[in-house]
Amino acid sequence: MTVWLIANPKAGAGDRGDAFWRSHLEVSGLSELISCDLDNDSWIERIEPGDWLLAAGGDGTVSRTAEICVGKQAVLGVLPSGTANDFCRNLDLPDDPQALCDLIASGIQQSVDVGWMNGQLFLNVSHIGVGTWPVRGATSDVKKRWGQLGYARVLISKLWAYRGFQATIRCDGETAQGRWLSIAIACGAFYGGGNPIPRAAANDGQLDVVAVRPRSFVHLLMAYTLVRVFGREVRKNATMVHFKGSHCNVATRRPKTITADGEVVSATPLEARCEAGRLQVLCESVVST
């Protein structure tokens, strides 16, 4: 078995790169590491089934590494180094870097789902509408200076003037249509910098579709509070809808940008499906909300 270390030097504040994680992994007994770069894929052909690929970066780096793992039947390890790090919340990973590396070295594994959106793998969440703005508008300097607050600044600066977009959502026989501020299709239980999705898990074999309609700021705040603070179900809420299913499609009146795991990937229409238990991940448990 070979252990590959994939570190994104641009992730987060840039202080958790190859050298940072290598030092902690060596203390945990993982000294035979091969450093590699996602911008140079010549090493990928050398991966064997059962190899460990340790991704040090944000959700985008982790998602790209996961796609390699799926194709090569390798095992994913997550070393959170980005701004939001939503996918790692699904795995209940320790905050302490050394404790995390000790867990990685233990070799404990769990199976998690992966999503496919317009033929491309996504590990955590795809967005249309407001949810794409932080990815499109938060520069590297903003993210380094403000962290997750950088995303919030981008949203607040634009939200007051946004009227939404027309779309029809279909998910396993259920349909909702009209005007929307945001549509999120999640494969895990968290999105948007730690917001939990009720009744969700990264190993439940289903997508969670959470869509928000244009409303006054007060109504949006109330809906957010019901879900975020009280964990309230939102399926019949006038402001938000929540569908669960293995397949989903979204059709918009005009093409809209789609982001997935922190990267701009394509435009609508969107076709998504969940592939249950497709990925092996180094962790002790998978969180259910």
Q: Are residues 73 and 10 located together in one domain of the fold? A: yes
- The model's pLDDT over 101-113, given as tens digits with 9 standing for 90+, comes to 999 999 999 999 9
pLDDT in tens, 85-96: 789 999 999 999
Are 155 and 63 part of one and the same domain? Answer: no
pLDDT at residue 139, as a whole number: 45
Residue 142 pLDDT = 44
What is the per-residue pLDDT for 224?
A: 58
pLDDT-based confidence at residue 217 (cuts at 50, 70, 90): low
Q: Is the domain of 93 the same as that of 127?
A: no
What one-character DSSP code corresponds to residue 173? T
Given 92, 114, 136, which residue is the final one in a domain?
114
Average pLDDT of the residues of the chain: 86
* Whether residue 177 is found in the same domain as residue 219: yes
pTM: 0.84
Helix (H, G, I), strand (E, B) or coil at 207: strand
Structural domain range at position 216? 120-276
pLDDT number for residue 135: 75
Are 182 and 260 in the same domain?
yes
- Look at residues 36, 119, 123, 174 and name the one whose alpha carbon lies nearest to residue 51: 36
Shared domain for 132 and 106, answered yes or no, is: no
Q: Can you give the pLDDT at residue 215?
A: 73
Q: Is residue 142 part of a domain?
A: yes
Domain edge (last residue) among 58, 80, 114: 114
Taking the CB of residue 106, how many other CB atoms lie within 10 A of it? 13
Query: Based on the domain organization, do 101 and 125 belong to the same domain?
Result: no
Residue 283 covered by a domain:
no
pLDDT at residue 47 tops 70: yes
Please report, for residues 18, 65, 156, 208, 221, the alpha-carbon distance to residue 260 in angstroms, rounded to integers and kept in the order given: 25, 14, 21, 14, 25
The CATH number linked to 74 is: 3.40.50.10330
Average pLDDT over residues 210-233: 65
Percent share of the chain, pLDDT over 70: 81
Residues 8, 148: one domain?
no
The whole-number average pLDDT for the span 133-142 is 59
Whether 2 has a pLDDT exceeding 90, the answer reads: yes
Instruction: Assess whether 162 and 270 both reside in one domain.
Output: yes
Provide the domain count of the chain: 2
Do residues 132 and 259 share a domain?
Answer: yes
Per-residue buried b or exposed e for 21-36, using 16+ beta carbons within 10 Å of the residue's own CB: bbebbeebebeebeeb
**Interval 158-193: pLDDT, tens:** 555 568 999 999 999 999 999 999 999 999 999 877
